[in-house]
Chain A
Amino acid sequence: MRNVIFILMVFGAMQVQAQDAVHGKAVYEHWCSPCHAPGGRKHPGTSALEIIYKGEKPAVLEERLDLTPELVAAFVRNGVKIMPPFRKTEISDKDLADLGAYLSPR
């Protein structure tokens, strides 16, 4: 019985995580990809990261393997250079947690 409960708990946790990542992807596509999609000519976020990292890291956020929810939250709520911060009516705290989950290594 304990094993069944454990399996259910793990399964439940995976469900929650999967659901969050799906929503996080939707948040990303709505709010982030207009600037951070592949192709720096039309996407200023990608273009800026190409200049910063010079190929040492991927310029496209979705390809990064070193992002954490905390780092994502810091940039979203503080902005950087021409990227303004995002308000809670745009990206809520729940949206932000899901976005962090989506962009963290999967």
Chain B
Amino acid sequence: MIILNNSIIHNRKKILVFSFGAIFYTIFLLYIWTLMSDSFSQLLDLFPKQIKTIAGFGDDLSTAGFLNGEFMHLIGPLIIGAFAITIGSTVLCSEEENKTIDQFLSLSISRTKYFTEKYFSMVLSILFLSLIFSITLKICDLIYDINLNLSNILYSGLALFIYGVTVGSITYLSGSIFAKTSQAAGIGAAVAIIGYIFDSVYKTVSSMNFLKYISLHYYYNDNKVILNGFDTFHLIILLIIIFTSFFIGLYIFNKRDIKS
């Protein structure tokens, strides 16, 4: 666990910056909600149906319904995705780019151990940020009295965690293949952004319905997780992506030369 601990310590500044961002945004968003909750339905009526659909707003006018659109659909995955890409692209790649990895892999440490501990340092970092989101939601619930039940909070945290780990795993896999931070981050970001775009397109253009099957965003929040919990099939798909990315990455990392 030494490599894992060291990686988390090494990334502490990034974890802190994103945590402050998450706390600030969540408090700000729910403060705004307390100001506009009574007129939320009138406000929504000002927008065309397609825009509301793309933004993730449904018929539920509760706090959880608002959070599903404003928080879970866009900003939540944006923050957790950006964090996962940042950590996933650097945790392994930057060691190889900076050549600090040579000294460690020339010790009696297996590549599998190195790869796995680095990976789980990313997973734990994402878990930490997801918990920060959940805890902040709970604190806001207490402060603003906005009727968020515990299951809403747990579902939101878990969904963001699973989404973050999925994006992070794809980024980490890219890093283990290309050993280049910029390339890994680019691929991770592309998967996340394209997923969001495809999710928006299939909702508004019926002939493009097939796009949803190649959108991470669809599997992440099509079931409006904060309101309804996870769709088992969607959760399995995300878990398959996570495990496949991990094992392919591990296989490649074990088979290739370390960049010199």
A-B interaction: no
